[in-house]
Chain A
Amino acid sequence: QSVLTQPPSASGTPGQRVTISCSGSSSNIGSNTVNWYQQLPGTAPKLLIYSNNQRPSGVPDRFSGSKSGTSASLAISGLQSEDEADYYCAAWDDSLNAVVFGGGTKLTVL
């Protein structure tokens, strides 16, 4: 049972916009920023979004993040086949004094 809650799966067709949610609590998302990671099959995770909505250099602007209260979302617009991957949200939990991850969302491009 992960501290942050994500839907186990999501899907969309090429060109569509999809969103992935991440729900937490006042001790994590409610009081700290959220990062998102993309894990392509068989590879290490890659930092996709940091500080709720900032993209590292090289990440396409098709990827965007947002946060409201104790929830966060990752949006992917203009969906492409290469976006098929697992996506994880992460936050710092002030009560646990630890990094916590969501359980991950498997995105399928139909």
Chain B
Amino acid sequence: QLQLQESGPGLVKPSETLSLTCTVSGGSISSSSYYWGWIRQPPGKGLEWIGSIYYSGSTYYNPSLKSRVTISVDTSKNQFSLKLSSVTAADTAVYYCARAYWYQLPPSFDYWGQGTLVTVSS
């Protein structure tokens, strides 16, 4: 059974960089047809797609966040990571990692991590 687990600091200071890692177990991150993505959800609000990456390194980013986001993949560790720079309180959210079946648009996020709350505060 595929499992995804987010890890990283739960508290980040304003203007600093948020860094999270998603570890995939029970399957290979190098599987064809699948991208790997990040989605966030501010407390009490809806979902926002951040971006997705293929094991080869090909990426798609939400244009509203693109200038601040970097998603990378480490196939040797079966992990992919998120970096969001210059954070503000508006970036406080539960961050989910998920597998995206990209055979048709929109991609279908069929496996999700449990989510991790990141709070931006001094």
Contact = CB atoms under 8 A, between A and B. Distances in A.
Interface of A: 2, 32-35, 37, 43-47, 50-51, 56, 88, 90-92, 96-104
B99 to A, nearest CB: 10
Interface residues of B, number: 25
Interface string B25-44: 00000000000000100000
Given A44-B115, A45-B96, A98-B63, A37 B109 contact: yes
Contact of B63 (A33, A92, A96): A96
Nearest to A105: B46
The 8 A-B pairs at the shortest CB distance, nearest first, are namely A92-B105, A99-B49, A44-B112, A92-B106, A50-B108, A104-B46, A101-B47, A103-B46
Contact of B49 (A47, A98, A102, A104): A98
Nearest to A90: B106
Contacts of A92: 105-107
Q: Most chain-A Cβ atoms within 10 A of its Cβ — which of B61, B63, B107, B108? A: B108
B97 to A, nearest CB: 10
A45 B108 contact: no
Contacts of A45: 39, 47, 96, 109, 112
Interface in B53-69: 60-64
A69 B41 CA distance: 28
B110 A101 contact: no
Contacts of B61: 98
B14 interface: no
B37 to A, nearest CB: 8
7 contacts: A34-B106, A45-B47, A90-B106, A98-B49, A98-B63, A99-B107, A103-B46
B109 A47 contact: yes
